[in-house]
Amino acid sequence: MTELPEKRRDASRSREAILDAAERLFAAQGYERTSLQEVGAAAGVSRGTPSYFFRSKAELYRAVLQRAFGQVRNAVKSGRERALRSGEPPEVVLAGAVGEYFDFISGHTHFVRLLEWEALQGAGQVGELAPHLGAIHEAVAAIADELGFGVEDRGDAEQLVLSILALCWFPLIHARTLLPGLGGNPDDPAFVSSRRQHIIDLVLHGMRGRLTTANIANHTEAT
């Protein structure tokens, strides 16, 4: 494999360092309170380097969001591909998908905070980005395929994805507001593990009838 010239490797590293620093700062303090100078300092590059790569703060912010949504989309796609290869029954596939998504956002708290800032600011930037819609559509399609939802049941699949999102996001969004009053701590591995299992159990219980139908359909197709 041909190696990139050193200059190009340095440029790639600088660009990623700027994106990493910008993601941290935008997540921590929002778009308005973050400057390109702060990003450059946090990334360990000169003041003008962020502008060189991204021209403006708005363009850098969009690049941060695009990268974050790309990571979500890749997680959804890879999870779906593993599920399809596994040959496991629908309830196992669904449990794996829910757990995998929970693990993903638990490990990407910057992504959660970025979207919360967007929600507070009227989704001015997210509304211009198509990738986040693609990730949601793929999640709905994966659920619909695995559970045997027909075209007429797409609304049910959308509701299920919305419920999974809400159940997984709440502890992260309200980690310092409502959660302490409920005895929860998102930094406690025991709480995270129990919350993860609770969500899986709740989703499987709510979808029990649909999962039974999907099992029967899969068995019929196999025979």
Residue spans of the chain under pLDDT 70: 1-9, 80, 83-84, 123-135, 209-223
With 0-12 / 13-18 / 19 or more C-beta atoms within 10 angstroms meaning exposed / middle / buried, residue 44 is exposed
Give yes or no: residues 13 and 73 share one domain.
no
Q: Are residues 48 and 78 in the same domain?
A: no
Specify whether 197 is located in the same domain as 91.
yes
The 10s digit of each residue's pLDDT in 155-211 is 888 888 888 888 988 888 888 888 989 888 888 999 999 999 999 999 988 887 666
CATH number of residue 88's parent domain: 1.10.357
* 13/80 same-domain check: no
Tally the domains of the chain: 2
Residues 114 and 42 in one domain: no
Assigned domain for 132 exists: yes
The answer to whether 210 touches 147, Cβ cutoff 8 Å, is: yes
| Residue of 115, 132, 112, 106 lying closest to 31 (CA atoms) | 115
Tell me, yes or no, whether 99 and 201 share the same domain: yes
Domain coverage including residue 27: 1-55
- Tell me whether residue 60 is in a domain: no
The pTM of the full predicted model, rounded to 2 decimals, is 0.75
For residue 206, being part of any structural domain is answered with yes
